[in-house]
Amino acid sequence: MSVPASGAIDCDVHPALPNTQVLLPYFDAYWKEHVQMRGLDRDNYNAAAFPVNAPINGRPDWRPEKGVPGSDFAMLQSQALDGFQNRFAICNVLHGAQAILSEDLSAAFCRAINDWIAAEWLARDPRLRASIVVPMHSPELAAKEIERCAADPRFVQVLVWEMQELPLGRRQHWPIYRAATDHDLPIGVHAGSSYRHPPTNLGWPSYYLEDYVSWSTGFAGVLNSLISEGVFVEFPRLKVVLMESGVTWLPAWMWRANKTWRGVRAEVPWLDKSPADYAREHVRLTIQPFDAPPEQGQLQRIIEEIDCDDMLLFATDYPHWHFDGTDALPDGLPDALVRKILVDNAMKTYPRLS
């Protein structure tokens, strides 16, 4: 289904750094010299889920003649913003900065990326908003970066990857959630890994195919951890947005999590409702790629099983190739739900858009 009305909020678009050298003006003097001395500016740290030239990395009509998909501002403006007549689009820069082992270097890169996106993208189109990129392996430095960027209301979310050194619910990460909650910033958990551990439960895979497919199961682990550790009890206003790993795994996860919780709830006495109910209240999912079944009746069944109209958020995942034309929405959704997916759910999830 094409987007039926203008004014939607696209919750997942991906501007890409054309190269690392564009960040040089955004490092302070120390880090600029450090990066140049080590030759780090000659490398590219784009977080890649596929081989660079794989079609899925960028739709053919969304690829610039030169450079990586998503790196051309005018193309993103005309294709993602004008093309879908969006009111807002939230920029999520996927970059290896968040996986760098040195916490200080990771923080320096994240600061530079946040200043770069603000100066070179957000400043050029009032419809653009962005997520704050943070050095996840140092919660203290990540919280500092959230505090620094929060002064700019165009930052509406904190961006992390689903697979980190520790599961996302662990207390080590709580300073990040505290800083985010203090500034009305949801945590956007994007598909991806900092590769401290194998991305599958079984060990290191050989192929991109195994890697990318396994990310949807990683999201189930994210929910297990956030809910069991009591993150939403400690931070009752926190919202978490799961991005780019489908939707239809959710009803099965809800069933398994609720069933198991009934049996072992004594070990997590801080949970005063079922895991599925915590998810319905605190967790949102972007709809691209929407792993919709072929028949509309099946889609209706999944929507009924999720049993919450607030959870789905519109996204194109520009410039990745999940669909053609403007068919970003699956067919067969009720009109009232479409309106919520396109606009209302995002406005409630991201207070800073108001």
Binding positions for Zn ion, rule: CB under 5 A: 12, 244, 317
Q: What's the closest the beta carbon of residue 296 comes to Zn ion, in angstroms?
A: 25
CB 298 within 8 A of CB 247: no
Residue (11 or 176) nearer to Zn ion, CB: 11
- Provide the 3-class DSSP secondary structure of residue 313: strand
Q: How far apart are CA 139 and CA 175, in angstroms?
A: 6
Listing DSSP states for 91-144 in one string gives E---BGGGG-SSHHHHHHHHHHHHHHHHHHTGGG-TTEEEEEE--TT-HHHHHH
- Assigned token pair, 281: 């209240």
* Residue sitting closest to Zn ion (CB): 244
Q: What's the closest the beta carbon of residue 323 comes to Zn ion, in angstroms?
A: 13
Residue (229 or 317) nearer to Zn ion, CB: 317
Residue (111 or 322) nearer to Zn ion, CB: 322
Residue (135 or 188) nearer to Zn ion, CB: 188
Q: How far apart are CA 111 and CA 134, in angstroms?
A: 8
Residue (275 or 319) nearer to Zn ion, CB: 319
Q: What's the closest the beta carbon of residue 317 comes to Zn ion, in angstroms?
A: 4
CA 159, distance to chain mean position in Å, is 6
Q: What's the closest the beta carbon of residue 10 comes to Zn ion, in angstroms?
A: 11
Q: What's the closest the beta carbon of residue 191 comes to Zn ion, in angstroms?
A: 7
Q: How far apart are CA 199 and CA 211, in angstroms?
A: 6
Angle CA(254)–CA(164)–CA(156) in degrees, nearest 5? 75
Q: How far apart are CA 210 and CA 43, in angstroms?
A: 26
Q: What's the closest the beta carbon of residue 114 comes to Zn ion, in angstroms?
A: 18
Residue (163 or 276) nearer to Zn ion, CB: 163
Residue (10 or 12) nearer to Zn ion, CB: 12
Residue (72 or 244) nearer to Zn ion, CB: 244
Q: What's the closest the beta carbon of residue 244 comes to Zn ion, in angstroms?
A: 4
Q: How far apart are CA 321 and CA 50, in angstroms?
A: 12
Q: How far apart are CA 301 and CA 236, in angstroms?
A: 30
What burial letters (b/e) apply to 86-107, b meaning 16+ CB within 10 Å?
bbbbbbbbbbbbbbbeebebbb
Q: What's the closest the beta carbon of residue 105 comes to Zn ion, in angstroms?
A: 25
